Amino acid sequence: MDNLKITLQYLMPKHLISRLAGKIASARLGWFTHFLINRFIKAYGINMSEAQFERAQDYATFNEFFTRPLKDGIRPLATDSNMIAHPVDGCISQLGPIVEGKLVQAKNHDYSLRSLLGGDIATAAPFQNGDFATIYLAPKDYHRIHMPVTGTLRQMIYVPGELFSVNPLTAENVPDLFARNERVVTIFDTELGPMALVLVGATIVASIETVWAGTVTPPAGKNIFRWTYPAHGKNAITLEKGAEMGRFKLGSTVVLAFAADKLSFLDDQKPGSVTRMGAPFAKLK
């Protein structure tokens, strides 16, 4: 059955299905939208008591529900200046050192840091021998992405690609999954040096957005696009630790990369650990 599921992913028109799902998710369909939301809440056991708006009727579109804000204070931020905070609610897939330019995807699978970041040697170079973490956001999770540390945006890269599912089964069976799927790469200057925060698309992920650029995809393209941003001045984009930096419309994965010898992941952080945005994740060396 698992082999069949993987084979179907190779065969099905993933972009078409995803864009159609996006149209439905963004449409104001009245009672049908509220029906879909209620079914989704029940199917995935979503804790709506954490949401700022708790009823399906409070959302005009499925996307509004999916990117729902949380109540103030529901995710306390690790304010210690030596602590890196979790950027999302989810589950750690993998974390550890970047070895010879490779990141672990799953058991017996690794992939190229350079490919993940869009193929440019200079972009990948600062992260060689550094550390990475991959966090999977399930459909039930909160889908806004926040800053683990304060950072100034220096580069954003749109990388076209496939839209495979990013669930654990696919990660264990599709080679180079995160460097294969469509994604938005962001590079920040931080007190830890450079930090890459990669938003990976997936099947029926209708949109990836950032707070400074709005919707980055769709529309999708066949070319890599790069945007650069100033380090200083009135046009510089600096986001504080804990601030929202982007969001997924339907679930996916984030990959973090840091320079060498800058942080140590906390002992209780390991593959399979549940994450909560703002909670302690790692500490400065």
The whole-number pLDDT of residue 77 equals 97
The whole-number pLDDT of residue 60 equals 96
Pairing of strands 193-200, 183-190: antiparallel
pLDDT tens per residue across span 144-164 = 999 999 999 999 999 998 888
From 34, 89, 93, 165, active-site residue: 89
Q: Give the separation between CA 259 and CA 245, rounded to whole angstroms.
A: 20
**Does this model's pTM top 0.85?**
yes
The whole-number pLDDT of residue 58 equals 95
Both tokens assigned to 237: 């984009």
Active-site residue, 146 included: yes
**How distant, in Å, are the alpha carbons of 49, 187, 206, 222, 271 from that of 57?**
15, 38, 22, 38, 37
Q: Give the separation between CA 60 and CA 29, rounded to whole angstroms.
A: 8
From 141, 146, 189, 207, active-site residue: 146
The whole-number pLDDT of residue 32 equals 94
The whole-number pLDDT of residue 251 equals 66
Active-site residue, 81 included: no
- Report, as ranges of residue numbers, the positions in the chain whose pLDDT lies below 50: none
Q: Which amino acid is at 173?
A: N
From 18, 165, 207, 252, active-site residue: 252
φ, ψ at 95 (rounded to 5°):
-160, 155
Q: Give the separation between CA 145 and CA 282, rounded to whole angstroms.
A: 17
Active-site residue, 15 included: no
The whole-number pLDDT of residue 205 equals 63
